Chains A and B, each alone.
Chain A
Amino acid sequence: MSLLFEPTKGMTDKSMHYCPGCTHGIIHRLVGEVLVELGVLGKSIGVAPVGCAVLAYDYFNCDMHEAAHGRAPAVATGIKRILPDNVVFTYQGDGDLASIGAAEIVHAAHRGENFTTIFVNNAIYGMTGGQMAPTTLIGQKATTSPYGRDKATTGMPLKISEMLATIDGAVFVERVTVHNVAGIRKTKKAIKKAFQVQLDGKGFGIVEILSTCPTGWGQTPVESLSWLENNMIPYYPLGNFRAPEEAK
């Protein structure tokens, strides 16, 4: 019998707590696969956020830290500076990274910290029950924007990749999606490039991944995939915003 498929060694065999249809799990797997394929799992140290991925420390099969809400980039800075030969990454949601941790991510990028950030943008605070995030779309209903997000009082959704791409130290910035198979393939490539940039000692890399939250959005898993495609991608264009020559 030949082996056609097996779980990645990059993940533990703990069963995940994510809701049915949530794409956090796919993103975990891609990161795990990349760490194994690059042969760096044994020297990897990950930093989990506060958000639905808070338990990521139980899922990645490498050393992990659980950081305070939004502070993962500062924690990663502390680790990477004293262990420059290890591979360090943060895994953060949009409330974590774009709201409470906006200062930490901007300044980690600004200093050109040599670690990798996996940024899961699901346009909502999933964990706390579906409140509005800085990334929630105009008109999108959330528990704290029950009439739909209103530009007049809450501004326009924050485009993190575009914003970070203006910072010199952010050498790799790419936005991808996991709502379909082609997107998943591209996401894996982007994650691999971002980690390669770190291995090459080039500086800060971030992959923004558009992700679904069927529970927070009040949709079925299938509906949420097409909602992402039809609503998020038009506002959050996919593509690479910055890369060193060889990673283009």
Chain B
Amino acid sequence: MAKILMKGNEAIAEAAIRAGCDCFFGYPITPQNEVPEYMAKHMPKTGGVFVQAESEVAAINMVYGAAGAGFRVMTSTSSPGMALKQEGISYLVGAELPSVIVNISRGGPGLGSIQPSQSDYFQVTRGGGNGDYRIVVFAPSSIQEAVDLTIKSFDIADYYRNPVILLGDGMIGQMMEPVEFNLSGKTNLPKKDWATTGTNGERKPNIINSLALASEDLERHNYKLQKKYDEMEEKEVMHETYKMDDAEIVLVAYGTTSRITKNAIDSLRENGIKAGLIRPITLWPFPNKAFEEIPKTAKSILVVEMSMGQMIDDVKIANEGRLPIHFYGRAGGMIPSPEEIANKAKEIVGGAK
């Protein structure tokens, strides 16, 4: 199939439609507006549902309704809107409803800015909703990867009966790259016999619910959910390594930042510094194993983020105290240059004057 040039947000929307997304509910917020706009234009053509909700709170609860009815559902937003969705996300997990939530994030806190940022790492991996819960979080670094992971998100959501988050920074949403759409063809997904479609007088009522008043019942439910999280940790971890074999300094970056970091690594190697990259593709579950496999040549780790340092906490957990960890970050929509990153790496390995 020929590749077509598409903007990230539109490519994610098209990928969702191809993955069989039946309903989209959203609320305008920059820099993700092209997602609902694309959906408004194209969903009606395939008999899909598009509703512009009155708020992100309403949008995520519409997701809860349509997902409970057994359909493939997506919503998208950006950081402050993601904050409003937390209540609904917690309910989706509690009631075990599959859904895909896209966060094309921007700078914060508060209204922040509309520029690309990675300051929502805690929000997506730790959750702002209540209760013991986990969600698979994909962080694509190219538009093609965003497309592939969007399609995969629907399958994973259905398989686990759990929401999935796709986190792109504003750069992923706004830039254009050639893409192709390859469907997963996954057919062994469980039947949604729990969905509320009307009993037709032929079965007992189906109930979509996250309430369990008796402590024993809720604990049992928590154990059941935990089993799913354990399986996700076992099966769904994704990461990429780049020039790691002989690396003396290991850079860790995801999303847009990882692309810039690769450039920095190439220029470091031209200057005789053996640098390598670990790029988490799932932010949760975090690729802890990749850190166990860091070669003996490595002397230090440099975490690069467009934030004041959030993923660094997970790197510290994964590193288990083995190597010294350094940090380089820009915030507020400022994007680090390859030179800045390379200079920081040089400083660490002792090459900077």
Contact = CB atoms under 8 A, between A and B. Distances in A.
Interface string A66-83: 111001001111111111
Contacts, number: 135
A173 B200 CA distance: 29
Interface stretch (B55-63, B237-245, B277-285): B55-63
Contacts of A74: 53, 57-59, 61-62, 64-65
Nearest to B54: A107
A64 B196 contact: yes
Interface residues of A, number: 38
Contacts of A65: 64-65, 68, 196, 207-209
Interface in B65-96: 65-69, 71, 73, 87-88, 91, 95
Contacts of A45: 69, 196-198
A88 B305 CA distance: 46
A54 B53 CA distance: 24
B61 A63 contact: no
Nearest to B206: A63
Contacts of B59: 74
Interface string A31-67: 0000000000111110100000011011011111111
Interface string B173-212: 0000000000000000000000011111110011111110
Contacts of A43: 198, 200
Interface in A92-114: 103-104, 106-107, 110-111
B66 A57 contact: no
Contact of B55 (A54, A82, A83, A103): A103
Interface of A: 12, 41-45, 47, 54-55, 57-58, 60-68, 71, 74-83, 86, 103-104, 106-107, 110-111
Interface of B: 22-23, 25, 49, 51, 53-55, 57-59, 61-69, 71, 73, 87-88, 91, 95, 196-202, 205-211
15 contacts: A42-B199, A42-B202, A54-B211, A61-B199, A64-B208, A65-B65, A71-B58, A71-B88, A75-B61, A75-B64, A76-B65, A78-B69, A81-B51, A81-B62, A83-B69
Given A64-B196, A75-B64, A111-B51, 7 more contacts: A43-B198, A55-B211, A63-B205, A75-B68, A78-B65, A78-B68, A81-B66
